[in-house]
């Protein structure tokens, strides 16, 4: 890169072909083919993020690594973007606007906002987290196992991370039930994405206030709130927006995409079911081949640049193409990337996701439990007929219809009872113990399944 213009100036956004329009049906019909065509022009390509909005998409793995570490030429401060007049209050504003959290901060401010998050995440007991994810997965599987069919997006992949998030962050029952729709509208840049972002802020603000008043019992939120010399109220709310947002929708996508990859590839499926390849490797393969986040996060050029032969004016918005970069390397190898951990799906450099290990534990445990309990799981439709959501930022299935041999698993619950995770008193600020009459798992006490926080040094029943 240099600071001198080249002959290749930014095009008129109206002249871009349909495959370069991240919102178009043509793009979403086959994004992998669209990425391939965009790569024919080089490591970066001009795309339309929405009608009239020109954006630079970074397609190359090594270039993403370089951009992520280059704080001299690129900034996370999206207020410096020169295109705000085109998108203010538009559908994409919720994903591009600066929030009061570490994702959009730099230098000492970034370190100050990141340190409490890293400290809180270190206190999560990973073994107990696995136990809780497996228990939640078993509860969810038990709801559809007797029917022999399921939509694994709506009935498994989406609710499971939110159950875990609810416990870790102290979300109340109604918040948890509202979050899937809110996050979908934001990630898909729906017509009311701005209203969804406002709803998310209100939910996280209320969660912070409950914990500040001593009425909340989410261990991660408590750790953030109680940290001496910690974050302001607005910074706490913004941090929860980031952590819950990144821990719910992308995690759901990773679970669903991994299952879809397994069921679409007979050899990979057979290797996993025979234990020749662990589920963990299938998840890592998916992070190359079909990562849950495709075109994010945003960067802004601090000065005029030339990337290869492409002139990038100061103030240009760039999106890191995690999807096309991973797919390119996957295609080049021509086989599953089981053991390669060099993907950029969790970011790279100072802004690398601090919860990547937690996300992997959630996804790996969820998929492991699913294929163990439903060993003859198979797609109910052809893989090329799967419906994908039209998100400009993510690769997310609309549905994942599967079928399997029906089984009464786990033991039928008495009429009128619900899984322990569905009881309002197990989420939020209630201190009473769950009263579900559903059978408890081995080695649990009779108070219900969620009897331990996945947090070191704590063992609080029914809270």
Give the start-to-end residue ranges of the domains of the chain: 1-96+294-340, 105-281+345-406
Question: What mean pLDDT is predicted for residues 212-237?
Answer: 93
CATH topology classification for 1-96+294-340: 3.30.43
Q: Is residue 386 within 8 Å of 245, Cβ to Cβ?
A: no
List strands edge to edge, sheet with 378-379.
149-151, 401-403, 378-379
Sign of CA dihedral 36, 37, 42, 44: negative
Q: Is residue 436 within 8 Å of 400, Cβ to Cβ?
A: no
Measured CA to CA, the distance from residue 417 to residue 412 in angstroms comes to 10
User: Considering the chain, what is the average pLDDT of its residues?
Assistant: 85
**pLDDT (0 to 100) of residue 375:** 94
Residue 425 has pLDDT above 60, yes or no: no
pLDDT band for position 334 (cuts 50, 70, 90): low
Q: What is the pLDDT of residues 159-181, one digit of tens each?
A: 999 999 999 999 988 888 899 99
Mean pLDDT check: name the lowest of 248-257, 399-408, 440-449.
440-449
Residue 444 has pLDDT above 50, yes or no: no
pLDDT band for position 336 (cuts 50, 70, 90): low
401-415 in b/e form (b: 16+ CB < 10 A) is: bbbbeeeeebeebee
**pLDDT (0 to 100) of residue 427:** 30
Reported pTM: 0.86
Question: What mean pLDDT is predicted for residues 193-214?
Answer: 94
Q: What is the crossing angle of helices 107-122 and 219-226, to 10°?
A: 130
Measured CA to CA, the distance from residue 55 to residue 215 in angstroms comes to 44
Question: What mean pLDDT is predicted for residues 9-38?
Answer: 92
Which residues, 6 or more positions from 31, have their beta carbon under 8 angstroms from its beta carbon? 294, 323, 395
Which residues, 6 or more positions from 358, have their beta carbon under 8 angstroms from its beta carbon? 121, 124, 126, 129, 247
* Torsion-angle region of 178 (φ positive above 0: left; ψ -120 to 50: alpha; else: beta): alpha
Among 251, 355, 299, CA closest to 98: 299
pLDDT > 70 in the chain, percent: 84
Measured CA to CA, the distance from residue 145 to residue 142 in angstroms comes to 5
Q: What is the pLDDT of residues 378-422, one digit of tens each?
A: 999 999 899 999 999 999 999 999 999 998 865 444 444 443 333
**pLDDT (0 to 100) of residue 85:** 78
Q: How many CB atoms lie within 10 A of CB 75?
A: 18
Sign of CA dihedral 289, 294, 297, 302: positive
Measured CA to CA, the distance from residue 89 to residue 97 in angstroms comes to 10
E strand intervals along 351-417: 378-379, 401-403
Residue 191 has pLDDT above 70, yes or no: yes
CATH topology classification for 105-281+345-406: Cytochrome p450 (1.10.630)
**pLDDT (0 to 100) of residue 89:** 60
- 3-class DSSP state of 289: helix
**pLDDT (0 to 100) of residue 233:** 95
Please, which residues bridge with residue 401 across strands?
A: 151
**pLDDT (0 to 100) of residue 86:** 75
Q: What is the pLDDT of residues 90-137, one digit of tens each?
A: 788 889 999 899 999 999 999 999 999 999 999 999 999 999 999 999
Helix residue ranges per DSSP H, 213-232 = 219-226
């Amino acid at each position: 890169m240099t600071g001198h213009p080249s002959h290749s100036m930014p095009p008129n956004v109206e002249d871009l072909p349909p495959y370069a329009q991240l919102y178009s049906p043509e793009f979403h019909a086959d994004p992998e083919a669209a990425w391939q065509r965009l790569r024919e022009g080089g490591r970066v390509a001009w795309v339309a993020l929405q009608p009239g909005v020109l954006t630079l998409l970074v397609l190359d793995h090594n270039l993403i690594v370089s951009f992520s570490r280059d704080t001299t030429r690129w900034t996370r401060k999206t207020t410096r973007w020169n295109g705000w007049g085109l998108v203010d209050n538009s559908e994409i504003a919720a994903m591009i606007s600066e929030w009061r959290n570490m994702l959009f901060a730099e230098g000492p401010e970034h370190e100050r906002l990141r340190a409490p998050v890293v400290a809180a995440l270190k206190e999560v007991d990973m073994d107990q987290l696995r136990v809780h994810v497996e228990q939640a997965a078993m509860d969810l599987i038990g709801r559809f196992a007797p029917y022999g069919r399921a939509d694994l997006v709506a009935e498994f992949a989406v609710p499971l991370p939110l159950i875990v998030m609810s416990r870790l962050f102290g979300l109340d029952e109604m918040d948890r039930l509202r979050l899937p729709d809110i996050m979908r509208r934001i990630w898909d840049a729906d017509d009311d994405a701005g209203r969804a972002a406002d709803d998310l802020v209100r939910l996280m603000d209320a969660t912070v206030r409950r914990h500040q008043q001593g009425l909340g019992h989410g261990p991660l939120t408590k750790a953030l709130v109680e940290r001496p010399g910690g974050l302001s109220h607005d910074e706490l709310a913004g941090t929860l927006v980031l952590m819950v947002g990144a821990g719910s929708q992308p995690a759901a996508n990773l679970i669903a995409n991994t299952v879809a990859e397994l069921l679409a590839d007979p050899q990979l499926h057979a290797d996993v079911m025979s234990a020749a390849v662990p589920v963990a490797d299938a998840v890592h393969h998916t992070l190359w081949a079909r990562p849950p986040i495709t075109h994010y996060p945003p960067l802004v050029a601090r000065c005029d640049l030339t990337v290869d032969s492409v002139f990038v004016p100061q103030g240009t918005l760039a999106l890191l193409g995690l999807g096309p970069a991973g797919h390119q390397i996957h295609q080049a190898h021509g086989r599953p990337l089981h053991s390669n951990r060099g993907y950029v799906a969790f970011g790279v450099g100072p802004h690398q996701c601090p919860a990547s290990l937690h996300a992997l534990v959630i996804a790996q445990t969820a998929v492991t439990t699913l294929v163990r309990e439903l060993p003859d799981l198979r797609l109910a439709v052809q893989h090329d007929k799967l419906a994908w959501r039209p998100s400009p930022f993510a690769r997310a299935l609309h549905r994942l219809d599967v079928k399997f041999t029906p089984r009464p698993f786990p033991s039928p619950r008495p009429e009128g009872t619900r899984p322990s995770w569905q009881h309002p008193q197990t989420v939020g600020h209630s201190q009473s113990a769950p009263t579900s009459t559903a059978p408890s798992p081995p080695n649990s006490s009779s108070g219900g399944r969620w009897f331990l926080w996945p947090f070191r040094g704590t063992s609080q029943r029914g809270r």
